[in-house]
Structure 1
Amino acid sequence: MPNKVLAIALTAALSPAAFAPATAARAASADDGRHLAITIYPSDLSLVEDRRMIDFPQGRATIGFPDVSADIRPETASLSADGVETVEQNFDFDLLTPAKLMEKALGTTVRIVRTNPGTGAAGEEPATVLSTQEGVVLKGGDHIEVLRDDGVPTRVIFDKVPDNLRARPTLSILTRSTRGGVRPATLRYMTTGLSWSADYVASYDQGAKTVALQGWVTLTNNTRVAYDKARVTVAGGAVAGDPALGGPAGPRGQGGAADRQTSFELPEPVDIADRQAKQIALLDVKGIPAEKIYRSVWGVRGGPGIISGTGQPSKAEVVLRFNARDAAGRAWRLPRGTLRAFLEDSKGEAQFVGEAHIGDIAAGGKVQATLSRAFDIDVTPRLVSDERVGDKGQRRTFEYKVANASDADVEVEVEQGGLGPDARVTDESITGVALDAYRRQWTVPVPAHGVTVLSAVIEQER
């Protein structure tokens, strides 16, 4: 009930002058050659760089920025302009509401206007606000009354808006300028409330062995302020501490810190309304050479580990692999995101294969997305023998039984990790390749409804 009473009691029409701050503050207009640049990091943290022309008077003046993010981190804000230094800055986030207006009027005199419902005649009387706790208590003349919803149209008139109440969150900066005049100024600050994500749709043509790739970046704005014509960069990688302190500054695309953190600048300025999720097309490329492969990985972190005894069968992974470049050699950088893959069936209809998270991909880099597991391809590992060789040596014989229950011949990449830099392959039924000092890979051909057994003998020190 108290909220309802206030809503009725405070239906007051204030003149535009009532909203002007009592001090001689100047508002930094967003129409004065404004240039916005935003870098959005993956940890709910963004850097806003706001450049505009400001008319600084000589000496001291307060410059108000009523269009900053409501989620600004005020301690990160800085204003720079030629011949201007910052003396003090305040972030006013006590917002103008009927309840707040009445609270700030506590102990002061307001005017109460009541309209007779029958005659339409309006009467006005002064009253002092005594309390706003669980309702509004007023002292008018020789009586005390409580504003209530009794069907009588009532308005409360205030002479002005209190200095510390704002229609919007406002950053006020007290400056000292060596000279008066208009000049470019840059406001830079960190904020929460902005986020980004990337999504990709990959349509794989199994016959042509190509993929058509579409990419979207989704920008989400919950800062309670709109950003118009902003140059937006989405940044991947981890942010060490507060970027505002070390600054992902420097010209974009010229080897600054933002580049080292894997940044991707959107191709055109964008308008991001408050409470909006906006999707921006990142790329739409067809005919990228690609392959769908089957893979079985053992002995790596998060995997089944080094084989001991008789292993259990495991379904082979289905992997889509391609480079971020087309047949003509044009390359793209892909920010981290979710890739969803579709495969055309024998009827030419798209079937969903699966989805996977991909990390930041450098221009032309390899994309390898593990989408699902093949229900008809099993890999069963086995440690055939584990022998001691000399004082410190160890010889192990591995065996991998690859079974294909599908109607097509397939190749399965079998990878064994957990080896060591001193590992030596002394025998193998299929020639493999060393991926690095700790991993070896074999490509195993398996006929339709058939089985292929891969064996390998590996020696190394214990």
Structure 2
Amino acid sequence: MIAAAVMATAPSLTEVTVYNQGMGLVKETRVMKLGAGRQNVAVEDVAAMIDPSSVSVQSISSKGSFRVLEQNYQYDLISPMAILNKSVGQKVRFIRTIANQRDVLEGTLISAPTAVVGVPGGGNQQTYNGMVIRTDDGRIVLDPIGEIEVKSVPNGLISRPTLVWDLESAMAGENTVELSYITNGISWNSDYVLTLDGLGKAALQGWVTINNQCGATFENAKLKLLAGDVNRAPTAGPDVAMLKMAGPRGGGRDANFQEEGLFEYHLYTLQRPATVRNRETKQISLLESSNVTVQKRMIVDASMNFGRYYPGEGEIGTGDIKPQVRIEFENKKTNDLGIPLPRGRVRIYQRDQAGSVQLLGEDNIDHTPRDETVSLVVGRAFDVVASRKRTNFTRISDRAVQESFEIELRNRKETTETVEVIERHYGDWRVLAKNMDFAKASAEAMVFKVTLKPNEVRKVTYTVETKW
């Protein structure tokens, strides 16, 4: 019984490492007043979504002074429904009001409102039975409406999730222990705001959003966030992998978080204690830079979404096309960045002529190392348009064709714009004729860079021979 157990104190030190995969590693320092010999110890305030198989406990004041023989995780929490379910067959008192008259029934509860029953094929489900009371005078009362009283809380119900250890101690007195476990129900993600000035510069602000639904509050905890794709072994029951974290090693460029490499991941440690409450969404500043050099790209990629194909009589990627607009910047120290950027969503803004910030678009980034380029899809161009058509198709043989294409680009803006036209061909292909030079970006793609003056219309034309 928990009441007869030694109660461990509330944690004096707490460290929480939160993972992208929706789990957290909790490490706590607690004090237990133990007697010599075998005894029960109850540890309250653990996360309701704890993985009991991941629990690790060891003494840090007297190493090897005790051993845990058995562990029980008790989570049958007190609630009106739980009390009624466990009170079936017990005496109850029911109070109801009929026509402004108070009526008191005393009898035996023979059916609780809900019950958990087995179902064919395995598993359980909760069913609604309705309440049934057999009164002391022999009447059967079905689904009465009112208040019900029980004589006592049934055994086995507790007010909060509790770990109970059956342990054997070699010594009596206070023992400081380190408790660690994995819990589900806590996660984090990154959100970024990129504000353009319209002149090739931007300000980038990064936020960490922590969502805690694990059933526990962590007061003044040392908070760590691990960015990376951590593998978890699939199991029929709870995951049992225990993840050990290293201490801080490196520096960072932000006053809030210190970043370090850990194995093939990155760890961000908040440089101050934080309280993460249960059922709370918390946001903390991750980084901030006001000197980011950005580049805008307009891309016409007619075949991007068609995958690998070989030409035939049917046309692919022809018609009117809205160029894709991208904003790119380098994650380098020269941009006052140069730290690994965790996976997250980036919202792109720009101020209008009145000075108000307006949303231009949003995109997701993957985990991005330092010195890599961040490329964000903002949207589609409005005043720059393209039209693509196949002007000639000749079948040379069963496995060879010649095609001619024309891509017309029209700039309806009052500013000069550069458009990248990406053309994709597969198999053994070669360009027989073209009206401007291109760069071969890969074995399957060539890129024409076309600069359009205000209100200018230009065409890209070429003929290609493909064999397969």
TM-score (normalised: structure 1): 0.75
Unpaired runs of 5+ residues, structure 1, are: 1-19, 115-126
Paired position in structure 1 for 2:279:
275
State how far apart, in whole Å, the 1-side matches of 2:262 and 2:85 are: 46
Residue matched to 2:326:
319
Q: Which of residues 199, 205, 218 in structure 1 aligns to 2:191?
A: 199
Q: Which amino acid letter does the alignment assign opposite residue 244 of structure 2?
A: A
Q: How far does residue 316 in structure 1 lie from its aligned partner after superposition?
A: 0.7
Residue 275 of structure 2 aligns to which amino acid in structure 1?
A: D
1:251 pairs with 2:246? yes
Give the SS at the match of 1:361: coil
The amino acid across from 1:36 in the alignment is E
State whether residues 40 and 234 of structure 1, in contact with CA within 8 Å, keep that contact through their aligned partners in structure 2.
yes
In the alignment, does 2:292 pair up with 1:288? yes
Matches within 5 A, 1:120-159: 131=110, 133=112, 134=131, 158=152
Match of 2:212 among 204, 218, 221: 221
**Partners of 2:261 and 2:292 in 1: CA distance:** 31
Please provide the CA RMSD for this pair: 4.1
In 2, Cα distance between equivalents of 1:179 and 1:298: 76
Quote the Cα distance in structure 2 between the aligned partners of 1:240 and 1:353: 38
8 Å Cα contact 2:266-2:340 kept in structure 1: no
Q: Does structure 2 retain, via aligned residues, the 8 Å contact 1:248–1:257?
A: no
The equivalent residue for 1:9 is: none
2:18 aligns with one of 6, 19, 39? 39
Kept after mapping to 2: 8 A contact 1:248/1:258: no
The verdict on how the C-alpha distance between 1:62 and 1:129 changes in structure 2, with shifts beyond 3 A counting, is: farther
Q: Per-residue deviation at 1:98?
A: 4.4
- Aligned match for 1:412, one of 419, 428, 437: 419
Instruction: Tell whether the 8 Å contact from 2:365 to 2:374 is kept in structure 1 after alignment.
Output: yes
Render the CA deviation track for 1:282-320: whole Å, top value 9, x for unaligned: 222101000222112233346797786481111011211
Matches of 2:341 and 2:261, distance apart in 1 = 18
Q: Distance in 1 between matches of 2:155 and 2:299?
A: 67
Aligned residues: 417
Of the three residues 327, 332, 344, the one matched with 1:337 is: 344
Return the alpha-carbon distance in structure 1 between the equivalents of residues 170 and 391 of structure 2. 84
CA deviation digits over 1:3-56, x for unaligned, max 9? xxxxxxxxxxxxxxxxx824x32333223x3222222334xx303222313435
Question: CA deviation digits over 1:320-349, x for unaligned, max 9?
Answer: 111223536541322222222122334444
How far does residue 269 in structure 1 lie from its aligned partner after superposition?
3.9
Cα separation, partners in 2 of 1:350 and 1:106, compared to 1, 3 Å:
closer
For the 8 Å contact 1:415–1:440, the answer to whether it is kept is yes
After superposition, the Cα gap between the structure-2 partners of 1:165 and 1:359, relative to the gap in structure 1 and judged at 3 Å, is same
CA-CA distance at 1:66 after TM superposition: 2.0
Distance 1:80 1:416 in 2: 63
Which residue in the other structure is 2:439 paired with?
433
Task: Write the letter of the residue equivalent to 1:190.
Answer: T
* Pairwise CA distance, 1:72: 2.5
SS in 1 for 2:244: coil
2:181 aligns to what SS in structure 1?
A: strand
Q: Does 1:212 align with 2:193?
A: no
Q: Residue 168 of structure 1 corresponds to which residue in structure 2?
A: 160
User: Sequence identity of aligned pairs in percent?
Assistant: 24
Give the CA deviation at 1:166. 0.7
2:8 to 28, 35, 50: 28
Q: 1:108–1:149: structure 2 CA closer, same or farther, 3 Å change rule?
A: closer
- Selected match of 1:74 from 52, 64, 74: 52
Alpha-carbon distance change, 410 to 182 in structure 1, aligned in 2, over 3 angstroms: same
CA shift, 1:211, in A, is 0.8
User: What per-residue deviation string (whole Å, max 9, x for no partner) do you get for residues 197-253 of structure 1?
Assistant: 32222111122x111111222212222321221413153437453595455434167
Change (3 A) 1:293 1:419: same
Q: In the superposition, relative to structure 1, how do residues 262 and 47 fare at CA in structure 2: closer, same or farther (>3 Å)?
A: same
CA distance in 1, matches of 2:286, 2:56: 32
